[in-house]
Structure 1
Amino acid sequence: MVGLKPSDVPPTPGVKFLGAGAAACIADLVTFPLDTAKVRLQIQGEAQTTEAVKYKGVLGTILTLVKTEGPRSLYSGLHAGLQRQMSFASIRIGLYDAAKQFYNNGRETAGIGSRILAGCTTGGLAVIVAQPTDVVKVRLQAQSNLSGAKPRYTGTFHAYKTIVSEEGTRGLWKGTAPNVTRNAIVNSAELVTYDLIKENLLKYNLLTDNLPCHFVSAFGAGFCTTVVASPVDVVKTRYMNSPPGQYTSAPKCAWTMFMREGLTAFYKGFVPSFLRLGSWNIVMFVSYEQLKRAMMRSRSTINCTTESSL
């Protein structure tokens, strides 16, 4: 057995909620530079000027950012990103099993339909709660820190304050519709794929319930999610990063992208998206499974200690 052994008692909803948020923060800390590179590649071509910084590939983008803006630029928006994961991942991942049981009327084995509905529900709910943190994260990642260029925001708190003062409270929920669409797709693809791969690996005794099983399941989930969600993700990034008045709606943003840059624009940043989602899924799911087991083990130890003292 690689890693902690599964608990004899299923993890409680509270353990899943806290574990998902903590695991997502760990994954963000590891993969944030890839996310920043993805955002920069996605918005490239948006400004129709010859002075725009050109990024080529994942490694090229990261090296360009380090060379021109310093290593810290790779972690622009990290505070907002961690805030986002604690609220966002806790809901969309931590409540997934509860939603799955609800749609499955409490039966032990859930069908594809119940899983997809559960993923859409928790994904959409998470966006409504965490959208302001996502808007701020994207804006901070997208802004250039080149010397001589005045940044739009000096930090996370300044970004929240500036967006509200310039765009109103609604500005913090800018792009909610495309983000709900994106995360309904992402959450369903990610969690359902992970669920099914892991379930079949265990069912056919290809792997046991340990780290290799979680690794393979997470990798497959990351690839499928990137293929399905990349077009919506690019539109979401462009629209959320746009100044007031540039696009009247997310569909208008998508149409403008198509007319100016063609279909390939919807898969800009695909490689960093896959590298980021694949690695993020691996770190997150492996951490999540281990955190759940560690928390349940600690809970059992505390209960045993309490009972023995009575």
Structure 2
Amino acid sequence: MKKVLFASTALVMTAGVASAEITLSGSANMGIKGNAFNGSIDAPTFAGETTVHNEIDIDVVGTGETDGGLTFGASVDLDASSDDSANTTGGGASDPEVFVSYNGLTLTVGDIGEAQAVGGVADVGYDGLGVDDLVDDLADGGAAGLGGSDDVRVDYAFGDIAVALSADSNSGADTGVAVSVSGTVDAFDFAVGYADRQVGGVDFTQSTVTVGYSAGAFSVGATYAQHDSTTFGKLTGYGVDVSYTTGDVTVTGVYTANDLNGNAPDQSAFGLGVAYDLGGATLSGGVASIDLGAGSETVADLGISFKF
């Protein structure tokens, strides 16, 4: 987040610590959703009604640096959301992480993001209609009930290239390791991720490749994802997104499809969205047709999002 939410407290420390600070930042949104999709390709549902939705996400980050140049820090999220007055969630602090960093090398432990969860398909709508989930869940979610839970991660950045490695420290039945490489080369950007895991006695791999290109007001991206397990076989998906920006308005179109290898009907979706940059806030909305094998459902949303 670019701006401080509510307050920022700077603490000058001694005993080998050059400086430290605690910052609060956040984001929020509010709007309406029509026939909202829950985003699951395994157990999909649609709301079947129009709801008023909002989300609040506040990030608390503490950072410091020693006299020797070692950077350290920790963070937690304070999240809450509601769908109409009868369905409110939010249970305090979540996503705890602690890190140390030196010369571009960072070690993080906690509720991290798995390394293979890079790239991915764009979504549309102020809160995301779920068009991307048909593909992205294969590589970075729990498709077929099988996903990662890594808690140790190492990142290294050099120039425009970033490399990441993550692992599940569990010494029991659930184990896994993941790796990714991402970066930019001229007008192109790319991201490649791979994970090898075992969950509940089932061996599986997750992989994804995303390539993007930007030229002036146009940008286009393509993603391929695969989830291969000893139980469900090879599940594959692909997606394409195209955006055009004129002034403060961006129009985005997205198409996704997957092949679930006979475990469930193949799925596809198409979405179109428009976003208007208000400067510090964005007014956006989208509409999508999502076919999960039992006929197409139309979903839509319209709302405003903020960053603090």
TM-score normalised according to structure 2 size = 0.28
- Which is strand-richer, 1 or 2? 2
TM-score normalised according to structure 1 size = 0.28
Higher RCO, Cα 8 Å, sep 6+: 1
